[in-house]
Amino acid sequence: MRRTWRRHGEGPWPWLAAGSVALSLLMLLALLLLLATRGLGHFWPAEVAVVTPHAGSPFAGIAVREEAIPGDTRRERLYFTANRDLEGGRWRWVELGEIARIDYPAELVMMERSRWGDLVGRLVALEGEGESHVGEAAWPALQARLRALERLRDERDRLRDEVVMPLVRRLETVDSDEVRAALAAANGRIRELQATMGGATLIVESADGRRVEQPLEKVLRAWRPNAMTLLDRVVAWGEGVWRFLSEGPRAANSAGGVWPAIFGTMLMVLLMSLVVTPFGVLAAIYLNEVAHQGALTRIVRIGVRNLAGVPSIVFGVFGLGLFVHGIGGSLDEWFFSERLPSPTFGTGGLLWASLTLALLTLPVVIVATEEGLARVPDHQREGALALGATRMEMLTRVVLPMTLPAMLTGMILAVARAAGEVAPLMLVGVAKLASRVPVDGDFPFLHLERKFMHLGYHIYDTALHGDDVQAAMPLAFATALLLVLVILLLNLTAIFLRHHLRLRHEVPSRV
């Protein structure tokens, strides 16, 4: 084989290059597979087992994983037992040799609650509002009441978001009796809905025989995982994924969805792209087409390339000092002095986060655009000037259209880096939980001063700062997969545009 390589003059390098590409693709696929299995598997309704140990009371739980006991040949299994208000925790390790029997009763009910997490047990009765359903009759009655409760919650949330909050913000600027009356009426309607949701109580029996009285208004969903068919599980999985994408977070980001984080991430990246693209392109045009190519220009290029390697937290500190405390504090003194000491622009927000990330990614756009400008043949410029075009016409009608693919390459790299940054955002505007997205029906519709949620920070907070990291890790994996897909979607859009423009403005080869 060595003689063959020497004969062709190639050596082992093509094989090493191909192996490196294959290894990189395998690592990427392994990453996506890990995120998909650990994240999307969280929404699959797994069977609930009733475990009876040789000594002790039985308990119900979902098997999570098995591990070997350190320094021993025995193995133990981790169960998710829910019932945090009963057990004081939601996890339990059991040695496999201590298990006497495992059953999967079809009547076991798993409930998702707005407080204390999940509840698992046997449904004994549904009582309240002059009705009482006992035994098997309680299950269909529970499903009907949960559907009615969901409609009431939707109406309550709609009134709070679309009526009460706009009236409260209007009352901050205009003290009107008409606004106060409308606000009182809306709050009264919300109290009526809240009273309608209350009253009913579920009686649930745990696996060891203890009974729990659970207010129905705190129950969000209920299902019987052991009685579900494969089709039922697929439907429930799809509904769980949809709720994850369309709802807001709950329980300190350890439950619920990530819709505000999706919206905040994409909006921040869009605003950042709108800022960084024109400034990066203009700076590259000046350095390559206008400025005298001397020592000063070379120093500027070196500085720009060095900025690309500066840690992102440094840009966050710079944005905090310049944008938030400097410009934002001045804007508050000039235009929002009546609201001080409560800051409007003098605190972190969407605008300052977008500008900080624009500074962070500006060197990437400048370098990519300047390299594209350098690849345009000089005879294209000379031909345009020879035909009578001015220098501005030559730049705008000949050079820049041929450089558009390189500009989009820089924007792709900028979007990929900005969408995944977390450290600078912690200083200039990201929030653990934002009750409102920065866009609504109130003028000026896009509120640049508001804090926002971000997928990257959501992963960081969920994985490290929750009260139950073990329960939050599947949501962290699912959010990480979603962040990868969002970046991939943004990049594919830019790649498609770059390919289209490259075909349109391709430089013909010279014979």
* C-alpha 66: how far from chain center: 30
For 429, phi and psi rounded to 5 degrees?
150, -15
Where does 55-137 have alpha helices with state H?
Answer: 84-87
Contacts of 398 (CB under 8 A, 6+ apart): 376, 380, 381, 384, 389
Q: Which of 170, 467, 454 is nearest to 316 (CA)?
A: 454
Cα 367 to Cα 310, 311, 411, 487, distances in angstroms: 15, 18, 11, 21
Cβ atoms within 10 Å of 83's Cβ, excluding its own: 24
Distance CA 5, CA 13 (A): 10
- Give average pLDDT by consecutive 10-residue segment, the chain, 511 residues: 54 80 90 88 90 88 87 86 83 89 91 86 84 84 87 84 77 73 82 77 88 87 91 92 86 78 89 91 89 86 87 91 88 81 83 92 90 86 84 86 84 84 88 76 76 88 76 86 85 77 59 39
Reduce the DSSP state of residue 501 to 3 states and report it. Answer: helix
> What are 52's strand-pairing partners?
101
pTM, to two decimals: 0.84
Give the pLDDT score at 3.
Answer: 58
Residues pairing with 215 in the sheet: 201
Looking at residue 235, what is its pLDDT?
Answer: 92
Whole-angstrom distance, CA of residue 366 vs CA of residue 356: 16
Q: What is the pLDDT of residue 508?
A: 52
- C-alpha 327/C-alpha 342 separation (Å) is 16
| Cα(350)–Cα(324) distance, integer angstroms | 11
DSSP state at residue 71 = T
What architecture is domain 259-504?
Answer: Orthogonal Bundle (1.10)
Q: What does the DSSP assignment read for 223-282?
A: E-GGG--HHHHHHHHHHHHHHHHHS-EETTTTEE--HHHHHHHHHHHHHHHHHHHHHHHH
SS (H, E, C) 164-175: HHHHHHHHHHCC
- Whether the CB-CB separation of 312 and 424 falls below 8 Å is answered with yes
Q: How far apart are CA 234 and CA 169, in angstroms?
A: 43
Sort 246 into a burial class: Cβ within 10 Å, 0-12 / 13-18 / 19+: exposed
User: Taking every pair of C-alpha atoms in the chain, what is the biggest distance, in angstroms?
Assistant: 96
